[in-house]
Amino acid sequence: MADVAQIPGVAEQVKLVAGLRWQMLRNGIRRKNNRWDLIGMIWVSIFGGLMVIGVSVGFFAGTVAFYRNGRPGWVALLFWAIFLWWQVFPIFEAGFGAQFEFRSLLRFPMSQRAFYLLGLGYGFADFGAVAAMFWLAAMLLATLTTRPDLLGAMLGVSLLFVLVNVTLERLLGSWVEKLLAKRRTREIFIALFVLSMVSLNFLNPLITSPLLQKYGKPRFSEWASYFSWTPGSLAGSVVGGVAKADLHAAALGAAGLLCWLVGLSALLWQRFAAQYRGEQLSESAAPVAAAKRERRKVSSGGLPSFLPSAVAGVMVKEFRYLTRNGFAFLSLIVPPVMVVFFMLQFGGKNSALKSHGLSADLFFPAMMAYLILILLSPAYNSFAYEGKGIQSYFMAPVSFRDVLLGKNLFLLSLVLFELALAIGLLIWRMGWPTAPRFLGTVMAAVFSVLGQLAIANWSSLSFPKKMELGKLKGQRNSGMAVWTAFAAQILLGGICAVILFAGQWTSNPWLPTIAFVGLTAAALAGYWASLRAMDGLAEQKKELLIETLCR
């Protein structure tokens, strides 16, 4: 018989869990490396706090304005803003942040009711929820100072609204948790996030596009009526109804909010019940029905036969990793997309620079510099995604010169593809640059890429940092690798810029091309010589690499 005399009550369990989280935070800070995280956290808290206070002022002013203009029902807009914030912010936070494994508490003797209440209670501890409640408090304060007669209604509505939001947020959170537990959906989530962020850049060109001007902008006020059943609109209708003494509308709004609360609570109870029963979230290699033993030939990846076996092997491996790394794959799509964006914004007759749109001669070197900056960045930590596989390179009878050459050749092929695509887009949208500028820039690009690869290989071996596919949090290079990349890009970019402009200053348009031919030959020789030194460096840095990447 176990010695558990009495299961602690819900309040005691909540206290225990809160204490546990506090201890975890405190112990995390005790580690030396995490002190910087603490400083970062303090800064984030300060900025977060300022943001919340600033927005609170906005909510206060908005509420006062609606009351004074005789439109108390329009507070629905503010409820809507809080609703969107409360529901969307935690989803992104969950996608990028390490979350406390709430379900791990299930191994303790805990009733389903306690589990539900704890889960709901967690919803109030999120930054998003705290900020939203501050904003609601600002609205209440505005009501108290401007329309105290509405305070009772506003209080009741706010309470219901908070409960609806926290329940919905926990419900969505539990579904997001279920989805993000799987690698593929996690990667799709990140891809969608990055795409949505990139697509935001096109809002301005879209709004200012002649097509939209012709057909007229969408009338958002017309759409609002379709959303009258949503929590924000219902909350607004209660306040508006009480203000106009239209008790029917107010009661309908309150009933609607109550319906939301009951329905969402039932759904959340079901979700938590599934977790309580021991829902398996993570991916497992459960046995699958034996696939048909088709002995069809599986492609070995089209290994380039003219290359040494190890170099070709590394190139094929890099290609396969790229196709399975949604984030890296996107990083290939984004640069040409951004080039199109820059061309729409700054090039040609529709330029945001009005009559001073950039010419192809100016745009081409800038575009090449941008692409090289973006595309070569991963080369400074080229072992980031190897994980435990890094040991394979040290166990196999290969030199690191071959490994790095394979990685560099693969990256070069990508850079070439991207540059060709961007040049094609440039010619299509803006026409050809002049021949001396075109050749000079291309030669400058070759010089810069070779120079950067030589430095990047050294950086990859000297300052490795592990990254994981399908995660965004903490996915950045080591500080030294970032500084190395920054310094190399400034140095080589600076040299290229000075030489390119030297052609203009000396009125000799072919001067940059001639200079870059010599520099490129020197860079090639330097790159080749540096490659030879990589074997020794890899041997020196072996333990660092294995320890850092296998962690």
Partner 1 sequence: MSDIAIATQQLTRTFGSLTAVEGIDLRVQAGQFFGFLGPNGAGKSTTIKMLTGLLAPTSGRMELLGLDFQSHLVEVKRQIGVVPEGMGLFDRLTGREYLQFVGRMYGLDRATTEKRADELLEFMQLADREKTLVADYSHGMQKKLALAAAVIHGPRILFLDEPFEGVDALAAGALKALLGRMTERGVTIFLTSHVLEIVERLCSHVAIIHQGRLVAQGSLEELRAGIPSVEGEKKTLEQIFLSIVGQSGGEQSRLEELTWLT
Which residues contact partner 1 by CB under 8 A? 3, 183, 283-285, 288, 290-291, 293, 295, 297-298, 300-301, 303, 309-310, 312-313, 316-317, 320-321, 324-325, 385-399, 469, 539, 542-543, 546, 550
Tokens of 109: 């003797």
Count CB atoms within 10 A of the CB of residue 214: 7
CB 376 within 8 A of CB 456: yes
Query: Which residue in 100, 89, 95 sits closest to 475, CA to CA?
Result: 95
Work out how close the CB of 392 gets to partner 1 at its nearest, in angstroms, rounded to a whole number: 5
Of 41 and 188, nearer to partner 1 (C-beta) is 188
CB 79 within 8 A of CB 66: no
Work out how close the CB of 301 gets to partner 1 at its nearest, in angstroms, rounded to a whole number: 7
CB 360 within 8 A of CB 433: yes
Work out how close the CB of 474 gets to partner 1 at its nearest, in angstroms, rounded to a whole number: 18
Of 12 and 468, nearer to partner 1 (C-beta) is 468
Contacts of 348 (CB under 8 A, 6+ apart): 357, 429, 430
Of 263 and 301, nearer to partner 1 (C-beta) is 301
Contacts of 481 (CB under 8 A, 6+ apart): 380, 381, 459, 460, 463, 465
Of 214 and 293, nearer to partner 1 (C-beta) is 293
The per-residue b/e assignment along 411-440, b for 16 or more CB within 10 angstroms, e otherwise, is: bbebbeebbeebbebbeeebeebeebbbbb
Of 213 and 309, nearer to partner 1 (C-beta) is 309
Q: CA 470 to CA 184: how far, in whole Å? A: 8
Work out how close the CB of 332 gets to partner 1 at its nearest, in angstroms, rounded to a whole number: 17
Q: CA 432 to CA 443: how far, in whole Å? A: 16
H/E element, 232: helix 231-243
Work out how close the CB of 315 gets to partner 1 at its nearest, in angstroms, rounded to a whole number: 10
Of 211 and 291, nearer to partner 1 (C-beta) is 291
Work out how close the CB of 302 gets to partner 1 at its nearest, in angstroms, rounded to a whole number: 10
Of 321 and 370, nearer to partner 1 (C-beta) is 321
User: In the chain, count of helices (H) and strands (E)?
Assistant: 21, 0
In terms of Cβ atoms closer than 10 Å to its own Cβ (0-12, 13-18, 19+), residue 532 is exposed
Q: Among positive and negative, which fits the CA dihedral 102, 106, 111, 112? A: positive
Work out how close the CB of 291 gets to partner 1 at its nearest, in angstroms, rounded to a whole number: 5
Of 385 and 527, nearer to partner 1 (C-beta) is 385
Work out how close the CB of 527 gets to partner 1 at its nearest, in angstroms, rounded to a whole number: 23
